[in-house]
Structure formats: structure tokens, C-alpha cells
Amino acid sequence: MFLFVIVLHESGAGLSFSHQLSCHHFLAGFWYPYKNIFALVDELGIQPFTNWTQSAQYSPNGLEVESPIFQDVPRLPSPLGTFIYTKFLRLPIWDRLSSLPLMYAVVDFDNSDKSWRKYDTRTARELFKEFGCSERVYKEAFNPMLLVGLFAPGEQCSAAATLGMLYYFILAHQPDFDVVWCRGTVGERIFKPWIARLEQQGCEFLSRKRVTDVVLDKVSGLVTGILCGNELFSADAVVFCVGISAMQRIVASSPVLQERDEFLNTCNLGAVDVLAVRLWLDRKVSIPRPSNACFGFDSSTGWTFFDLNALHDEYQDEQGTVVEADFYHANQLLPLNDEDIVRKVQSYLSTCIPGFAEASIVDRAVVRFPKAVTHFFPGSYQYLMHRNTSFPNVFMAGDWIVNQHGSWSQVCFLCDNETVSHVPHHIAQLDKSVTCAMET
């Protein structure tokens, strides 16, 4: 049996990591549990990542939290390590202790369909209140985590998604919060060598192809092709690997998909605006830790800033500082012009690290990502799609697809692996040579 995989994607040559808009302005963190990605880079024989990095958290009051590299400190039974080794500079111990009863919900939530349905109708805010978390631990620890982890404030996040995120990134194993960063753009450092390897293995990548519809054989019930406008690509299996907004656009242009409720219901899902700003400064500003999360500047927006001189090889020898700030749930920032955005970002950075106020900006890049990342709002679970669809040979992958391991919201190669491992099983049942068209 031959297996040809054709990857159709709408970006130009070389896949962009997240959105084709992003090409140069994207910074990506890879957390300790991203085992599939670490295995992939080993298999490719590349070393695209920094060492494990320490992080900090700031508010308008200054430094709030310092995190160690959790795998470097003595291992304690989970979640004790997270509680004991994370250094909260302002949050009193009593407030932190008030979150202990929440562990009941974290253990109770097992990522099953039943527990998603049980917790998804509540907001994260309600969950924390119900389990006795103090207002202060919510405002200064949990809500900031949600703003940068699920890209929305607690009153707009599903309690189920919150518990899944807490378990996956923070509480299951002591080192889970440890992170490495790609030392350049993910497109260059990971996708490029990966694509080259896949091409050697017979996979074909067709760029600038925007999928608009599928072709259905009404007799067999199978999808037999993909349409990119007027262009037809035959397919024996299709894997949709796009975010929510892209899927909504495909459904809007696809009479075939509009006939299925599971696809039509994606229109009930939502996505969150993100803003990325990169600044080149005329002098070195000392940034104590390479990655930093911030809260309390705008009530429903979380943001992060990164020392790119420390993280990206290409900026290591720059005379001045190169810093990137990413804002999540940045609805109110997107309409501003670049000058206003840059002014605001410099003022926010200066609140965290006063040295930023003295530096002059010599260059800048502002990239807006409207409706770019998944919004796990309360009640959204019922509309999320599953790996298998009602078409026997159409599959779904992505960070918003219900999966077995709970790693949604971040890099979706984790979820895609799970889906793609099922496609050959389907194809094996077809007694012929196959072409598998897959979109990424």
C-alpha cells in the first residue's frame, strides 16, 4: 500500500507556526509535558530550544512572583512543590492556603466527557469561590494564570478548561511548569527541517491553497476530494488541522459541511484577540528573567514580555535590548494605532522594570492577531469537535478538538499526533493505494 500525504496550507513557502501573519513575530514556549515535540526534535536531530528558563510575574505594584526551575529543586509529592518553591513576594500565606480545597476539584476532574459536562457550565470565577479560594488568591494568582494560559479572565473561562489547564501545566508533576523557548521562529527552526524530512519521505506540501469545501460521494458517504476555490484535490482521507476562526470560514464557504450539525456548531465557538509587539531599544535594559507574565494593567487582559537577547540567537549580540510583549484578550488594544500601542507598551514595561523608561525605541513591529486563539468560554464544550467526524474519512486535529490527554489551548502537535495516529487505521481499511489530503 502506498501512502501519499498532501498538506494543503494557505501560508506561503514554509509553514508559519501559528498564523501566516506572524511569520517573523512569534515567540513560542514549550512546556515540560510537550513530550511529543521534544521527541520530534530529537528524531529530526535538531536543537531548536534554549535551556529551561526561570520566569517572573509582575503587576503595577512591581515584582510579584519568582518561579524556580522546578526540576532542579528536590522533588516533593505533587502539588507541594508548586506551592512551596514558587516565591510569592506579596501574596500572604493564608491566601495561598485558601486554595488547598480546590485540589478536590482538580482530582475529581479526570478529563472525561462526564467531568467536562459537570464543570463546563460554571465559570472559573465561580469554581474558585465555591472551593473557598480567597478573593486575593484569585485576583493575584489564579486569574493572572488564566489570562495568559486560557487567554481570558476567570469570569469568561470554563471551569472545566481551567481544571484541565491547572492539572496539565501546573499540578500533575512538579516540573510541568518548566519551559524552554524556541531560539528563533518556529517556522525556521522546527517546521523547515521537519518539512524537508517529510518531503524526503514522499509528502508533498502545496502552499497558498485555501480550502473552501469538500467533495462528498453521496453513495459511499465518503469525502473524495478537497476544493480550494475551483481547484480539486482528490483525497482518501482528510484531516482538518485549523483553528476555530479558520474552521468557521471554511464552513461558511462549504455547502457540504453546512449539512452537518457538528461543523455548523463550530459557529457557536469563539476565539480571542492577541497582540504582539516587538521593540528594539537603543541600550541594554537589564531584564532579570527571560520570560515574564503580567497582570493588573488592564482588567481583562494578561500579557507577557520576553528578553529576546537571551532567548533568540539572532539577537544575542545586539547592542541594545530587543523585547517582545504579547497581549492576550487584547480586544481594546487592537483598534489603536501603532504609535499609541508602542507608547502604552513602553509605559507598562517601565512599570515592571524602570530601566525601560530611559531607553529610546529605535525600531518596532506591531502584529495584530484578531480572533486568533481558542476561547474556552463556559458552555463551549458542547460545540467542540471530536477527532472523528460523521464522515468516516474526515478527521479533526487542533488545540480545540476534544482529546484524551487534556493539552488543549497550546501547541497542537500534541493533539494532532493523537488524530493522525488514527488516520492510517482508517486508510488500512481501504483496499487500494491512497492519497491522503491533509490540511495544516
Positions in the binding site for ligand FAD (CB under 6 A)? 8-11, 15-16, 18-20, 28-29, 209-211, 241-243, 246, 250, 274, 276, 326, 369, 372-373, 398-399, 410-412, 439-440
Q: Which is nearer to ligand FAD, 128 or 295 (CB)?
A: 295
Q: Which is nearer to ligand FAD, 163 or 397 (CB)?
A: 397
For 316-350, give the secondary structure using H, E and C.
CCCCCCEEEEEEECCCCCCCCCHHHHHHHHHHHHH
Q: Which is nearer to ligand FAD, 378 or 398 (CB)?
A: 398
Please state the closest distance from residue 85 (CB atom) to ligand FAD, in A.
22
- DSSP secondary structure, 248-317, as one string: HHHHHT-HHHHTSHHHHGGGG-EEEEEEEEEEEESS----SSSEEEEEEEETTEEEEEEEHHHH-GGGTT
Please state the closest distance from residue 27 (CB atom) to ligand FAD, in A.
6
* Strands laid side by side in the 434-439 sheet: 204-206, 3-8, 434-439, 237-240, 394-396
Please state the closest distance from residue 17 (CB atom) to ligand FAD, in A.
6
Q: Give CA–CA dist 191/312, Å, rounded.
A: 17
Please state the closest distance from residue 96 (CB atom) to ligand FAD, in A.
26
Please state the closest distance from residue 324 (CB atom) to ligand FAD, in A.
9
Please state the closest distance from residue 314 (CB atom) to ligand FAD, in A.
18
Question: The cell 547592542 sits on which residue?
Answer: 319
At 158 the three-state DSSP class reads strand
Start-to-end CA span in the chain (Å): 24
Q: Which is nearer to ligand FAD, 20 or 121 (CB)?
A: 20
Cα separations in angstroms, 86 against 54, 66, 194, 254, 311 = 11, 6, 36, 49, 22
Q: What are phi and psi of 201, to 5 degrees?
A: -85, 5
Q: Which is nearer to ligand FAD, 116 or 168 (CB)?
A: 168
Question: The cell 500572604 sits on which residue?
Answer: 92
Q: Which is nearer to ligand FAD, 165 or 241 (CB)?
A: 241
Please state the closest distance from residue 346 (CB atom) to ligand FAD, in A.
19
Please state the closest distance from residue 76 (CB atom) to ligand FAD, in A.
26
Q: Which is nearer to ligand FAD, 76 or 367 (CB)?
A: 367
Q: Which is nearer to ligand FAD, 106 or 438 (CB)?
A: 438
Angle between helix axes 35-44 and 413-420 (nearest 10 degrees) is: 80
H or E stretch at 59: strand 55-59
Please state the closest distance from residue 309 (CB atom) to ligand FAD, in A.
18
- DSSP secondary structure, 194-237, as one string: HHHHHHHTT-EEE-S----EEEE-TTT--EEEEEETTEEEE-SE
Q: Give CA–CA dist 199/13, Å, rounded.
A: 13
